[in-house]
């Protein structure tokens, strides 16, 4: 079996999760890493038996054996590294958030299209076993039409160990862009529609920093429904990562972290629903990325999807600044597929 040859650009903590996930797949392997620090390169090369290490991403992109890369550096670096990788003819899985403004998102999408490579954004919560089962239940129609949903990520912000760039909005930091992106991705997927407008309250309420740590957003969707996304990075408390969905003929709750569960409510009681739990959290994410490349289909969390999630996040910030509900630039019309590629039957933007 021919394996997809992958290079990892940036060797911070999240790179371990990517390498661990790739190790669970028979058709993907890491053949190169890039990081400014030699000790980090050596650490990963030794632990994961990776043959080549480079000081810069430009050196890695010159490696002809590398077919795809994971861009897992700081938020402010996602745009340029993704464009460089696309221009080098490499498929790209870029970590969240996709970029720190919409122009950068557009540049990334255009670069992927111009070079005929796949661009996928690493919205990992889209691929958890709990999320996949929850979406399967909703898509089955067993609970009837959806009415509303509320998604949470309330956790300790971990300020003392948080790197400066992740505490500054200038660099794309703060709780909203760092973790709220997961909440909005999960909510929008569950709502099975595209957003039209946002009204939000966002601020730094638990910490002294140049980025937010608290956000609540009311999001209206083009199917006439609305949902709520809550992303809080508190200084002390107990976490909540749940998503709660109310339908006409039943209710649904699911969570991946803290307590891991999928529950359906009917007849005034909750029942646990079994789900397939992959060996590691990013297993399905990398499996889907490899499948998109192998079959030449559109990745599930493709560039346009990634851009739409960022458009919601940026509109929420604008709402906070103006004190008004903000209609998205794409809000008055439907975003449509431009790639001309077949699509996967899993993880659909239904």
Q: What is the pLDDT along the chain (350 residues), one digit of tens a residue?
A: 789 999 999 998 899 999 999 999 999 999 999 999 999 999 999 999 999 999 999 999 999 999 999 999 999 999 999 999 999 999 999 999 999 999 999 999 999 999 999 999 999 999 999 999 999 999 999 999 999 999 999 999 999 999 999 999 999 999 999 999 999 999 999 999 999 999 999 999 999 999 999 999 999 999 999 999 999 999 999 999 999 999 999 999 999 999 999 999 999 999 999 999 999 999 999 999 999 999 999 999 999 999 999 999 999 999 999 999 999 999 999 999 998 899 887 765 54
Q: How far is CA 80 from the centre of its chain?
A: 18
3-state per-residue secondary structure call for 5-69: EEEEECCCHHHHHHHHHHCCCCCEEEEEEECCCHHHHHHHHHHHCCCEEECCHHHHHCCCCCCEE
* DSSP states along 212-245: --EEEEEEEETTS-EEEEEEEEESSS--B--EEE
User: Which residues 6+ apart lie within 8 Å of 141 measured at CB?
Assistant: none
Q: What pLDDT shows up at residue 145?
A: 97
Q: What pLDDT shows up at residue 46?
A: 98
Q: How far apart are CA 23 and CA 320, in angstroms?
A: 42
- DSSP SS3 for 135: helix
Q: Which two tokens stand for residue 309?
A: 């999630």
Q: How far apart are CA 109 and CA 114, in angstroms?
A: 9
Q: How far apart are CA 120 and CA 18, in angstroms?
A: 14
Domain 126-276+310-327 homologous superfamily, CATH: Dihydrodipicolinate Reductase; domain 2 (3.30.360.10)
Query: Which residue spans within 130-205 are E strands per DSSP?
Result: 146-156, 195-203
Q: How far apart are CA 119 and CA 82, in angstroms?
A: 9
Q: Which residues pair with 243 in a beta bridge?
A: 151, 254
> How many Å is the maximal CA-CA distance in the chain?
60
Q: What pLDDT shows up at residue 170?
A: 96
Q: In what order do the strands lie in the sheet with 119-122?
A: 52-54, 28-34, 4-9, 68-71, 91-95, 119-122
Give the pTM: 0.97
Q: How far apart are CA 68 and CA 89, in angstroms?
A: 8
- Measured CA angle at 211 (ends 210, 214), to 5 deg: 135
Angle between helices 38-48 and 13-22 (to 10 degrees): 20
User: Which residues 6+ apart lie within 8 Å of 18 measured at CB?
Assistant: 8, 70, 72, 282, 286
User: Which residues 6+ apart lie within 8 Å of 267 measured at CB?
Assistant: none
Pairing of strands 226-234, 214-221: antiparallel
Query: Which of 65, 95, 253, 100 lies closest to 174, judged by CA?
Result: 100
For the chain, give every domain's residue range.
4-121+282-300, 126-276+310-327
Q: Which two tokens stand for residue 4?
A: 């997809």
- DSSP SS3 for 250: strand
Environment class of 14 (CB within 10 Å of its CB; exposed 0-12, middle 13-18, buried 19+): middle
Q: Looking at domain 4-121+282-300, does it have CATH number 1.10.10.10?
A: no
Q: What pLDDT shows up at residue 344?
A: 82
């Amino acid at each position: 079996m021919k394996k997809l040859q992958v290079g990892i650009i940036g060797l911070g903590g999240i790179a371990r999760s990517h390498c661990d996930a790739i190790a669970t797949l028979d058709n993907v392997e890491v053949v190169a890493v890039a990081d400014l620090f030699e000790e980090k390169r050596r650490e990963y090369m030794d632990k994961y038996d990776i043959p080549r290490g480079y000081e810069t991403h430009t050196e890695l992109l010159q490696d002809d054996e590398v077919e795809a890369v994971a861009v897992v550096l700081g938020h402010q670096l996602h745009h340029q590294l993704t464009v460089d990788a696309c221009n080098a003819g490499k498929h790209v899985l870029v970590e969240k958030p996709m970029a720190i403004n919409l122009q950068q998102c557009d540049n990334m999408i255009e670069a992927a299209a111009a070079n005929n490579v796949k661009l996928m954004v690493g919205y990992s919560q889209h691929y958890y076993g709990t999320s996949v089962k929850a979406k399967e239940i909703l898509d089955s129609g067993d609970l009837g039409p959806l009415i509303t949903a509320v998604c949470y990520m309330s956790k300790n912000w971990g300020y003392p160990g948080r790197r400066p760039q992740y505490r500054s909005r200038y660099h794309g930091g703060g709780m909203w862009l760092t973790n709220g992106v997961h909440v909005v991705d999960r909510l929008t997927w569950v709502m099975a529609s595209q957003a039209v407008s946002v009204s939000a309250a966002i601020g730094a309420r638990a910490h002294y920093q140049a980025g937010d740590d608290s956000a609540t957003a009311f999001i209206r969707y083009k199917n006439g429904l609305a949902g709520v996304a809550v992303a809080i990075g508190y200084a002390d408390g107990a976490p909540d990562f749940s998503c709660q969905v109310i339908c006409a003929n039943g209710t649904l709750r699911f969570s991946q972290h803290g307590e891991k569960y999928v529950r359906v409510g009917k007849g005034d009681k909750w029942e646990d629903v079994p789900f397939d739990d992959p060996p590691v959290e990013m297993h399905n994410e990398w499996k889907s990325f490899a499948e998109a490349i192998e079959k030449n289909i559109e990745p599930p969390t493709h560039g346009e999807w990634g851009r739409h999630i960022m458009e919601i996040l940026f509109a929420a910030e604008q709402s906070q600044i103006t004190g008004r509900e903000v209609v998205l630039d794409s809000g008055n019309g439907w975003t449509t597929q431009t790639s001309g590629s077949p699509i996967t039957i899993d993880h659909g933007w239904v």
